Amino acid sequence: MKKIPLTSVTSGLGIEILPDLYCLSVQIANVCFIGDPRQTNEFILIDAGMPDSAGLIIEEAKNRFGEDCKLISIILTHGHFDHIGALQELLEKWNVPVYAHSLEEPYLTGKENYPPPNKDIPGLVAKMSPLFPRHSIDVSSNLHILPPSGKLPSLPGWEYIHTPGHTPGHISLFRENDRVLIAGDAFTNVEQESLY
Ligand SMILES: [Zn+2]
């Protein structure tokens, strides 16, 4: 899988958003670890980063949850290349369920590629988007489709919200009691037309 010549200045840095929510920046994507390391060595991963980032994600998991850390499941906000880049390598280490929305299923089972991007809309990211890999991967042996109820298996207190647009089956994750939201690519806080 080819890489793209873009990175964030925060790549490789992690931020503890809450005691049980840690976000790691991986080149241009974010991976979130859910689990409180003061209470458990088990964690759930939201998204699976860029290609070639499995080593970084595993190292960060060990730093946070200990050498014997245990991944319980992976929940994908969607299946774009920068969210599934390390997925197959992570599944080789931890053979766990992968959860995604039913409308992302064709892109996670090798059935369909994402449609070509529209490079004519303004912004650097749009201009570069034809370079982005958009082919489907096949993780069907681990894939589980999320229940329509909005409940997230093994994440009590959290729900998912279908937030299509960026991709057909894009989801965001929400926890009512502290109103924390993991928005995936449904939200951006950088200027898409600026190189910096
Ligand atoms: Zn995306």
Separation of CA 107 and ligand 1 centre (Å): 12
Is there a contact between 122 and 193 (Cβ–Cβ < 8 Å)? Answer: yes
For 1, 12, 119, 190, the CA distances from 104, given in Å and listed in that order, are: 19, 27, 22, 25
Q: Which residues of 7-19 are buried (b: 16+ CB within 10 A; e: fewer)?
A: eeeebeebeeeee
Task: Look at residue 128 in the predicted model and tell me its pLDDT.
Answer: 76
CA of 157 to the centre of ligand 1 (A): 25
Distance 151 CA to ligand 1 centre (A): 22
Q: How far is the CA of 82 from the centre of ligand 1 (A)?
A: 7
pLDDT at 196: 62
pLDDT in tens, 102-128: 999 999 999 999 988 877 877 777 777
166 Cα to the center of ligand 1, angstroms: 6
CATH 3.65.10.10 fits 14-186, yes or no: no
pLDDT score of 125: 74
pLDDT of amino acid 139: 96
What does the alpha-carbon distance between residue 105 and residue 110 come to, in Å, rounded to a whole number? 9
Query: How far, in Å, from the CA of 80 to the mean position of ligand 1?
Result: 5
pLDDT value at position 1?
A: 41
Cα 118 from Cα 90, distance rounded (Å): 31
Instruction: Map residue 31 onto helix, strand or coil.
Output: strand
Helix (H/G/I), strand (E/B), else coil: 124: helix
Cα(59)–Cα(63) distance, integer angstroms:
6
Question: What residues pack around ion ligand 1 (CB closer than 5 A)?
Answer: 80, 185
Residues of the chain with pLDDT under 50: 1-2
Structure tokens belonging to residue 128:
């570069």
66 Cα: distance to centroid of ligand 1 (angstroms): 30
Q: What are the phi and psi torsion angles at 83 (to 5°)?
A: -120, -10
CA of 77 to the centre of ligand 1 (A): 9
Distance CA 109, CA 141 (A): 9
The residues spanned by each domain of the chain are 14-186
Residue 84 CA to ligand 1 center (angstroms) comes to 10
